[in-house]
Amino acid sequence: MLCIGNPARGDDGLGPAFGERFEAMGLSGVTVDSCYQLSVEDAVDVAEHDTTVFVDADASCAPPFRVVRVAPATEATFTTHFVSPGEVLGLAKQCFGASGEAWLVGVRGYVFEPFVLALSEGAKANLEEAVKAVAEMVRNRSFHQVGG
């Protein structure tokens, strides 16, 4: 599980907050890592797992969250400041022969201001719903799309 976001930007910290809650559950076979943004090096970790779940704040999805399957990018168009989950998955397949699947969990956030060190109340509620739902998917080893 790769949890993305900057906790010093309000609800942008939803990814790392998700990771903390998920790691505390101690689910067998689940690795959790948090970062400010994805990098090409994340393809190594993706290649070592059967299923990868990317978790990030989402400013536009319907509350409380969405889950969508990630398709591997066939061409890398990343920059030093942005690598998409699809590009990470594509690099894992191309460079390391990875064959696993990937999902993106977007948790609805509302406040993305710099130097705000707390999640908004709405984001906290959405986070709890997302953690419960994704934990159930992990336990059942059955991921599926939620929202759009």
Residue 21 falls within a domain, yes or no? yes
Q: How many domains are contained in the chain?
A: 1
Residue 66's SS3 state is strand
Q: What is the mean pLDDT of residues 129-139?
A: 97
Question: Is residue 146 in a domain?
Answer: no
Q: What is the pLDDT of residues 98-124, one digit of tens each?
A: 999 999 999 999 999 999 999 999 999
Residues 118 and 68: their CA atoms lie apart, in Å, by 26
Would 134 be classed as within a structural domain?
Answer: yes
CATH code for the domain of 123: 3.40.50.1450
Question: What percentage of the chain carries pLDDT values higher than 90?
Answer: 91
Pairing of strands 65-69, 2-4: unpaired
Question: Does 8 map to a domain?
Answer: yes
Residue at 39 is within a domain: yes
Confidence of residue 74 (pLDDT cuts 50, 70, 90): confident
* CB of 114 closer than 8 Å to CB of 8: yes
Q: What is the pLDDT of residue 82?
A: 80
Q: Is the residue at 98 inside a domain?
A: yes
| Residue 147 counted as domain residue | no
Structural domain span for residue 30:
2-140
Rounded mean pLDDT of 48-77? 94
